[in-house]
Structure 1
Amino acid sequence: MIKNAIEKYQQEKGKKIQLKAVLFDMDGVLFDSMPNHTQAWHQTMTELGFRCSRDEFYLYEGATSSYTINRYYHRVHGRNVSEEERKTIYHRKTLHFNALPIADPMPYALEVLNSVKAAGLIPVLVTGSGQKSLLDRLNKHFPGIFEQELMVTAYDVHHGKPHPEPYLLGLKKAGVEPHEAIVVENAPLGVQAAVAAGIFTVAVNTGPIEDAILLKDGANLLLQSMEELYRNWEDIFSTIK
């Protein structure tokens, strides 16, 4: 499965993967924070009178707040949300999010990150999040892994996922080309963004999303958890090498 996925990517791109960097999403990959995000979004939008289910917010993971809110404004009001409305709604969502128990690190995330560092590769954070409470916890739970200049957050981009800009910026910050990196993602929009940037994309399905959705969005390799990624890391790395 791993060898076939890598060979297929290389045939499609006409280039061999020469791995130098690994780009990581944060929510749902490094932290088990998506249940909090989806609860906060669901609570916010239902308070505002929008009909929605909690699980559908997993589909918008990694997107900007404007993208997420616009989905409902178009559905109900037939227009984009104004910047003033967006700020008010996102502030309410942030308050709900911060009132929830702090999310734990994703099991085996640290082991994966340590394996990446041990292999001499550059770890890069590429997140659609602007939650300072989570960003501040990276150094606490993953000390010595991420450097500030190798982080891409919601504040760094004009276009969030599924646009490729976040991952293209991650490549630029690491000084590598698409064929010199792989992405670890868990969200459909994140997978779309990574694939659009031309990077080999490993999807770890840590939420309730159907596997078929992540594969349809272009994931090159599908795993079920960060633990499975850790267990298969040596196989992935040695096959690429």
Structure 2
Amino acid sequence: MERKESMDYNNIAEALQTFRTEKAYRHAPFRSCFFDMDGVLFDSMPAHARSWVEAAGEYGIAAEPLDFYRWEGQKGSDTIKILFERGYGRQPTEKEIADMYGRKSQLFALYNSGNVIDDAPALVSDVCRQGLRIMLVTGSSQTDILQRLQRGYGDSFGPANMVTGADVHRGKPHPEPYLKALECVGMSPSEAFVVENAPLGVRAAVDAGIFTIAVNTGCLPDADLWDASASLVLPSMAVLRSLLGALLAESRTSMA
């Protein structure tokens, strides 16, 4: 599909029809929506990037914030393995993983504002009002996830509709987190859509066979999200909110 700066109903229809044709999916209205967390629900990526850079620096490993936008979505242990290969040419021990992740988590608690992404709470409410089941699918394993969600999103998310890094063996970009979410809701890939913001998360969702919308809330170019095979790339949650009705209506349209 041609890449466009703005999306209207016809663009949505084209994107969804193209995706269904490629996957050989028949008519299947969307019944569930899966949300990534950092950069989708919360404006937390600047704090994550700063925390990772400083934690890596304490281990004598050079890194820059852009690294962590590119690696966003994967499990923290996988990020630490990349850093140790870069810095020391070897894999970290389990203790080193635990220590670095613990330090990074301390720094994140210091720097994180807790702010939600603009219009994300309203989008979650809109999706729920449409009768769709929602799931959180995050690579994070931080112990305060539920508290953060309750502060920003009330009771929309809880243990029963969350897949975290602690729940899977293989994190994003492997499809396991999104396959786990499908298992939790008891639906097929054709019945769900994903809201992501990072290339690795997009790749995980696409490889799970799910229609994937990327909302570019970070500093990476849109091309990185298109290259990860997002079906739509949008500039904000406000735009996605404005298109939600058309997206759901199109999902109910039978394919010829």
The answer to whether the 8 A contact 2:71-2:79 is kept is yes
Aligned partners of 2:191 and 2:106: how far apart in 1?
Answer: 39
- AA aligned to 2:49 is T
- What secondary structure does 1:146 align onto? coil
**Map of 2:217 onto structure 1:** 206
Determine if the alignment matches structure 1 residue 74 to structure 2 residue 85.
Answer: yes
Aligned length: 241
**Map of 2:126 onto structure 1:** 115
- AA aligned to 2:201 is G
Aligned positions of 1:86-235 closer than 5 A: 86-235=97-246
Aligned partners of 1:49 and 1:220: how far apart in 2?
Answer: 39
Measured on the aligned residues, the alpha-carbon RMSD in Å equals 1.2
The answer to whether the 8 A contact 1:36-1:103 is kept is no
Aligned positions of 1:49-60 closer than 5 A: 49-60=60-71
**Map of 2:6 onto structure 1:** none
Following TM superposition, by how much is the alpha carbon of 1:119 offset from its aligned partner in structure 2, in angstroms? 0.8
**Map of 2:16 onto structure 1:** 6
Query: CA deviation digits over 1:47-104, x for unaligned, max 9?
Result: 2211211122111111112211111222232222111110111111011111124320
Aligned partners of 2:40 and 2:111: how far apart in 1?
Answer: 19
> Given the superposition, is the C-alpha separation of residues 213 and 101 from structure 1 closer, same or farther in structure 2, using an over 3 Å criterion?
closer
Aligned partners of 1:101 and 1:206: how far apart in 2?
Answer: 16
Q: Normalising to structure 1: TM-score of the pair?
A: 0.96
The answer to whether the 8 A contact 1:66-1:81 is kept is no
Q: Normalising to structure 2: TM-score of the pair?
A: 0.90
> Share of identical aligned residues, percent?
42
Following TM superposition, by how much is the alpha carbon of 1:108 offset from its aligned partner in structure 2, in angstroms? 0.5
Query: CA deviation digits over 1:83-131, x for unaligned, max 9?
Result: 1110111111011111124320111111111111111100111011122
**Map of 2:4 onto structure 1:** none
Q: Name structure 2 gaps, 5 residues minimum.
A: 1-10
Aligned partners of 2:155 and 2:88: how far apart in 1?
Answer: 47
> Given the superposition, is the C-alpha separation of residues 88 and 110 from structure 1 closer, same or farther in structure 2, using an over 3 Å criterion?
same
Query: CA deviation digits over 1:10-32, x for unaligned, max 9?
Result: 10111134211000001100011
The answer to whether the 8 A contact 1:10-1:17 is kept is no
Following TM superposition, by how much is the alpha carbon of 1:36 offset from its aligned partner in structure 2, in angstroms? 0.7
- AA aligned to 2:15 is A
Aligned partners of 1:8 and 1:221: how far apart in 2?
Answer: 11
The answer to whether the 8 A contact 2:33-2:127 is kept is yes
When structure 1 is superposed on structure 2, of 154-163 and 14-23 the one drifting more is: 14-23
